[in-house]
Amino acid sequence: MAVTETPPETVDAASAAATSPTPTQPTGLAAVLGSGDHKVIGRLYIVSALVLGLVVVGLGEAFALEGIAPKTLDIFPSDSVFQLFTLARVGSIFFLALPLTIGVAMVVVPLQVGSRTIAFPRAAAASYWGWLLGSGLLIGSYAMNGGPLGGSSEGVNLWIASMGLLVLSVLVAAVSLATTVIALRPAGLFLSRAPLFAWSVLVAALMWLLTLPVLFGLIVLMYVDHRHGAGSYLGAPTALYPSIQWLFRNPQIYVIAIPVLGFFGDVLQTVSGARMKLRGVAQAAIAAFGLLSFGAFLVAPSEAALDSILVIGMGLLAVVPLLALAAACADVFRTGSFKLRAGVLYAISAFLILLLAVIAGAVGSIPEVLDAPRSGSLSDNIFFLGVSHAAVLAAVIAGLGAVHWWATKVGRTPANEKLGMLAPLVLLIGSALTVIPDLVAGITGDELQRNADWTGGYAGTNAAAAAGIALVALGVLIAVVSLLPLLKRHDDAPADPWDGLTLEWLAPSPPPLDNFVGDLPAVTSAEPLLDLREES
């Protein structure tokens, strides 16, 4: 007869654990303000981005209407029109596209890679509060007559400082997301098996970490020059916007849209229900697109740099990864099935608008195709305004689609599928109407019509762009209404409404604090849930 003796220290530890009270989680406002839960942080990002995004879309619509009669100012006062124009451009990236993408990634990526939490949860929470504070301060700087061409020295200082806070917050979020994918995967989930959305977020985060520090360094120089110097170089109000224009043209503008490719690939593979045989091609395509989106070398642009072989080659090659990814995703339907879902329409719409941006960027990179406007460089051509709008809109469509697709992980119940089918179609048509007029004017317009602001374009095409932005606003509103069910409590929300293939669909809906109940299954392929179905 064998006798097993338990060491006394083990008995004491077990008794202490049994008698110690179970820690209670805070509720209400305390749960929001003090939370390090990546799902709460992601929801805050998403809601805040949608609120500020509607303001940005409203500004864009006002400028499109202003452009119908470009020789007169009917909406904006002449002394602040350029400042508000820069607010619309900066806001499209830092108020809408980036925070919406980061918010979805905060919720979904840890679940996709089977992690109980996000890496550096307090830093992730700090990134949100820093971003929210920076957004408020940036708006306040414009209210103080600051920003580009601002007349208030204090307002300009505040604009520079708030831009630095926004960039720093995005970098902190990027560190948390990239570290989560790299370091918090369970055994067996190699990077080669990572879900495409998580992989695309990793690529995007790394590109943000490679390029945005250049912007941050530039902002530091702006502040030092304006605050402590003569304000005659980078810190001059007239130099602020030209110094950051490289953010808004290709290839740099593509960095905000890299997760579009991962969302596109994940959704199409999931609805097919099949394994992706060309997964390596898909991952390589996303990584290549990320590398081809590096544009920090244009921080001090010149005509020679814009006409260089590097810019031309990157512009033309950027189309190839998108076509390769489309081929890899199409291949899964040879062995799988196709189901029309709202998420599919969102994914295809976002991909098509991004493809439009990249093809237009390739065309604009070819020498002699475009001419500079009367007062400005080639980068000031309204053509690149269209490229920028297309990349931003692709990121927004994908962000809204991702919230719809992962609704039971972001919120409490599935989204409204019927409205979800309508929203991406409206967004697709509206985005095309918004972008194409600027592309046409950039190629065929005269010196004035090539201006990359409300004074450029044709009156007729600007009217079409105004209609397009109105449709985009309508599409966003429809999407938001379709997402309202996420706020309702539901005890029987499906954990896996799409017959998913990856680990996030093992988490209950909504996921608990530590994401999963019990141990995760051993990961032996890129489709662990498909493995479980085949075993059973």
pLDDT given for residue 31 in this prediction:
61
288 by DSSP, 3-state: which? helix
pLDDT given for residue 441 in this prediction:
92
Tens of pLDDT, residues 356-382: 999 999 999 888 888 888 777 777 889
Complete domains list, the chain, with CATH: 35-535 (1.20.210.10)
Distances (CA, A) of 365 to 23, 313, 319, 403: 59, 8, 12, 34
pLDDT given for residue 14 in this prediction:
38
Question: DSSP class of residue 378?
Answer: G
Q: Which residue has the tokens 């942080």?
A: 41
d(CA 252, CA 315): 11
pLDDT given for residue 23 in this prediction:
44
In single-letter form, the type of residue at position 204 comes to A
pLDDT given for residue 5 in this prediction:
42
CA dihedral angle for residue 437, residue 439, residue 440, residue 443, rounded to 10 degrees = 150
Q: What are 381's strand-pairing partners? A: 451
| Angle made by CA atoms 262, 267, 271, in degrees to the nearest 5 | 150
CA dihedral angle for residue 212, residue 218, residue 223, residue 226, rounded to 10 degrees = -150
Contact 286, 203 (CB under 8 A): yes
Q: What is the pLDDT along the chain (536 residues), one digit of tens a residue?
A: 344 444 444 334 334 433 444 445 556 565 667 678 999 999 999 999 999 999 999 999 999 898 888 777 788 888 889 999 999 999 999 999 999 999 999 999 999 999 999 999 999 999 999 999 999 999 999 999 998 998 889 999 999 999 999 999 999 999 999 999 999 999 999 999 999 999 999 999 999 999 999 999 999 999 998 888 776 778 888 889 988 989 998 899 999 999 999 999 999 999 999 999 999 999 999 999 999 999 988 887 666 677 788 888 999 999 999 999 999 999 999 988 899 999 999 999 999 999 999 999 999 988 888 888 877 777 788 999 999 999 999 999 999 999 999 999 999 899 999 999 999 999 999 999 999 999 999 999 888 888 888 888 888 889 999 999 999 999 999 999 999 998 887 767 889 999 999 999 999 999 999 999 989 999 999 999 999 988 87
Nearest to 270 by CA among 362, 162, 167, 342: 342
